[in-house]
């Protein structure tokens, strides 16, 4: 067994190896690498990814024999806009190296039982062609956006650079985004998003007859379990909603039946006390934006409720309606909790992402504001009791909407916020900069420079701002700690009100916040204490 330890939160891991038969730790140790490691089939060779010590870009793949200690560089990604990642199919027959930028992929493959051989290119990189390769031992399956914005699936008996020879087995659908593929001996399991909701579709590999696993909640999230066995007739999946804790099921792909295995225990929690809703808000440009809601059943739309609204909207990452044990602390106090599924995620397909990045980034901010205003007009929220939360790129969302509509929110929590966009994207030595030009735009080009500058939260002016609580970590590998520090200093200098602006820097944490179960809960409690303080002051409780 290989296991990695990061004691700072900077995402540099030291790996050690344990003999599972004797229980002894081997003397071999790999230091300062990523958490990305894959075993070959010989029980003594591992491949791992190493990052650049300055930019933190994952750029090198090494092969290491844990018996001899022999180490060799097998791949170096020289393009600074790409990062590398190792993965293995469920069959365990092949090991893959994926070189990824925001919009482009190139994959190399190697049969796992021949670790000494060189990796072969599956298909050369081509601008804006994204693909993923899986295998069924006897053939390959490719999920590709070639002439298919929401992706489609091809079957190949052997790798071929001539895509006209690829056999399409799952066509492109304008209303459905294919998010992942898991290949079993007899089945293909396809994870999809349709109308903003997760689906799992099972295909018979021989007949390609498909069936959906049925789900009934209005708003939920579901994902295929990573611990899959290639020859199994069962696929394991995790299901949860904003009111239902994570529940694990086995689905029999032959009998088409589900069996519940376990629901995460939450002491004293009763899901029947809560309800979830899913509404659609019309944005200012006519776009319909989904919003997921959680509240107690005894909370009505009377225009008097405090609202805690969350958003992200970047990198094509969907803000799934997950169960949160901690959010119940607010919900039990009468808050309505809302997730605004703004553009920049992939909830409604690849176009939803494209419409919230680059020169369309302001759609994310407009959507969040429009969702907030709609929840007020629909009487879900008291307009004087609106609180917003966003982290990382969601912190950028918080800063931008705060600049645009400071009157709309009583308080905002911005966790590890990416707020100094223009300065960061101009400095190629900073982690993530060069690999994200397709996400934010390259400010070395005048058009992008002016557009980014127009929304970057540090581009601010004297005005009245809402109460603000900002958090950061000294070892943050994604958003360097000086970004929120600089932002807070500027706001304190320019603001024309007497509202709070608080900055908390965790001196022993990284981007993910405090380590350990209880320390992370304490951080979340601090966020909520800030919100409850503001709401208590409003009520005259403090």
pLDDT tens sequence across 45-62: 999 999 999 888 999 999
Asked if the model's pLDDT at residue 355 lies above 80, the reply is: yes
Query: What DSSP designation does 173 have?
Result: B
Comparing 191-195, 257-261, 326-330, 519-523, the range with the smallest average pLDDT is 519-523
Residue 541: pLDDT band with limits 50, 70, 90: low
Chain centroid to Cα 73, Å, comes to 30
Domain ranges of the chain: 266-383
Catalytic residue among 382, 511, 527, 535: 511
Catalytic residue among 101, 364, 392, 456: 392
Mean pLDDT in residue range 306-316? 97
**What was the pLDDT predicted at 539?**
66
Question: Structurally, what CATH architecture does the domain formed by 266-383 represent?
Answer: 3-Layer(aba) Sandwich (3.40)
Asked if the model's pLDDT at residue 540 lies above 70, the reply is: no
For residue 375, give Cα distances in angstroms to 16, 133, 155, 318, 323.
Answer: 51, 42, 46, 21, 21
Query: Over the chain, what is the mean pLDDT?
Result: 94
Query: What DSSP designation does 157 have?
Result: S
H or E element at residue 144: strand 140-144
DSSP 450-492: HHHHHH-TTS--SS---EEEEEEETT-SSS-THHHHHHHHHHH
* Structural contact between residues 80 and 428, judged by C-beta atoms closer than 8 angstroms: yes
Considering the chain, what percentage of its residues have pLDDT values greater than 70? 99
- As a whole number of angstroms, the distance between CA 281 and CA 348 comes to 14
With b meaning 16 or more CB within 10 Å and e meaning fewer, what string describes 370-407? bbbbbbbeeebbbeebbbbbbbbbbbbbbbbbbbebbe
With b meaning 16 or more CB within 10 Å and e meaning fewer, what string describes 307-319? bbbbbbbbbbbbb
**476 carries an active-site annotation:** yes
Residue 542: pLDDT band with limits 50, 70, 90: low
**What was the pLDDT predicted at 339?**
98
Q: Residues for the chain: how many in total?
A: 542
Mean pLDDT in residue range 177-206? 96
Asked if the model's pLDDT at residue 374 lies above 80, the reply is: yes
Asked if the model's pLDDT at residue 538 lies above 80, the reply is: no
Chain centroid to Cα 352, Å, comes to 15
pLDDT digits (tens, 9 = 90+) for 96-139: 999 999 999 999 999 999 999 999 999 999 999 999 999 999 99
Pick the closest to residue 98 from 67, 134, 127, 64 (CA basis).
Answer: 134
**What was the pLDDT predicted at 217?**
81
Mean pLDDT in residue range 285-311? 97
pLDDT digits (tens, 9 = 90+) for 244-278: 999 999 999 999 999 999 999 999 999 999 999 99
**What was the pLDDT predicted at 518?**
84
Asked if the model's pLDDT at residue 519 lies above 90, the reply is: no
**What was the pLDDT predicted at 197?**
92
pLDDT digits (tens, 9 = 90+) for 80-89: 999 999 999 9
Residue 228: pLDDT band with limits 50, 70, 90: confident
**What was the pLDDT predicted at 523?**
92
pLDDT digits (tens, 9 = 90+) for 61-71: 999 999 999 99
**172 carries an active-site annotation:** no
- As a whole number of angstroms, the distance between CA 519 and CA 264 comes to 21
Say which residues have a Cβ less than 8 Å from residue 419's Cβ, sequence separation at least 6.
395, 396, 399, 456, 457, 458, 483, 484, 486, 487
Radius of gyration, CA atoms only, the chain: 24
Measure the CA angle with vertex 30, ends 27 and 32; round to 5°: 145
**354 carries an active-site annotation:** no
Query: What DSSP designation does 343 have?
Result: B
Catalytic residue among 320, 420, 476, 527: 476
């Amino acid at each position: 067994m290989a296991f990695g330890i990061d004691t700072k939160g900077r995402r540099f891991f030291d790996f050690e190896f344990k003999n599972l038969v004797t229980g002894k730790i081997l003397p071999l140790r790999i230091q300062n690498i990523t958490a990305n490691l894959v075993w070959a089939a010989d029980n003594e060779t591992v491949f791992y990814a190493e990052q650049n010590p300055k930019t933190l870009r994952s750029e090198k793949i090494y092969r290491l024999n844990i018996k001899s200690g022999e180490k060799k560089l097998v791949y170096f990604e020289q393009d600074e806009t790409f990062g590398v990642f190792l993965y293995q199919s469920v069959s365990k027959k092949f090991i893959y190296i994926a070189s990824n930028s925001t919009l482009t992929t190139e994959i190399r493959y190697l049969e796992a039982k021949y670790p000494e051989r060189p990796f072969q290119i599956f298909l050369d990189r081509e601008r804006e062609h994204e693909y993923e390769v899986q295998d069924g031992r006897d053939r390959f399956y490719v999920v590709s956006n070639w002439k298919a914005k929401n992706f489609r699936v091809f079957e190949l008996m052997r790798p071929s650079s001539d895509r006209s020879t690829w056999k399409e087995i799952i066509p492109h659908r304008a209303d459905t985004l294919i998010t992942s593929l898991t290949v079993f001996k007899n089945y293909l399991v396809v994870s999809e998003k349709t109308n903003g909701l997760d689906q799992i579709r099972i295909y018979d590999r021989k007949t390609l007859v498909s069936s959906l696993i049925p789900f009934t909640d209005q708003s939920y999230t579901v994902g295929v379990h990573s611990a899959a066995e290639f020859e199994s007739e069962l696929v394991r999946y995790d299901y949860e909603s904003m009111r239902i804790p994570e529940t694990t099921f086995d689905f029999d792909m032959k009998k088409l039946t589900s069996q519940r295995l376990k629901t995460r225990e939450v002491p004293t929690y009763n899901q029947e006390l809560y309800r979830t809703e899913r509404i659609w808000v019309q944005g200012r440009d006519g776009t319909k934006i989904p919003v997921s809601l959680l509240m107690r059943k005894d909370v009505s739309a009377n225009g008097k409720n405090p609202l805690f609204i969350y958003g992200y909207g970047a990198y094509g990452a969907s803000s799934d309606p997950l169960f949160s044990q901690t959010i119940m602390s607010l919900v039990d106090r009468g808050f309505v909790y809302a997730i605004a599924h703004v553009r920049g995620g992939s909830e409604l397909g690849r176009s939803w992402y494209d419409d919230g990045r680059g020169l369309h980034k302001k759609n994310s901010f407009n959507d969040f504001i429009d969702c907030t205003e709609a929840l007020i007009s629909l009487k879900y929220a008291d307009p004087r009791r609106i609180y917003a939360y966003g982290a990382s790129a969601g912190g950028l969302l918080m800063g931008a909407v705060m600049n645009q509509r400071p009157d709309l929110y009583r308080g905002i929590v911005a966790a590890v916020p990416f707020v100094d966009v223009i300065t960061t994207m101009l400095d190629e030595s900073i982690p993530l900069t060069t690999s994200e030009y397709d996400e934010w735009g390259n400010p070395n080009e005048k058009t992008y420079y002016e557009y980014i500058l127009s929304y970057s939260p540090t581009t601010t002016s004297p005005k009245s701002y809402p109460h603000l609580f900002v958090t950061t970590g000294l070892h943050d590998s994604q958003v360097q700690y000086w970004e929120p520090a600089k932002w807070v200093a500027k706001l304190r200098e320019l603001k024309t009100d007497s509202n709070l602006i608080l900055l908390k820097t965790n001196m022993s944490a990284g981007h993910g916040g405090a380590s350990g179960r209880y320390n992370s809960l304490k951080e979340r409690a601090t966020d909520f204490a800030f919100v409850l303080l503001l709401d208590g002051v409003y009520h005259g409780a403090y």
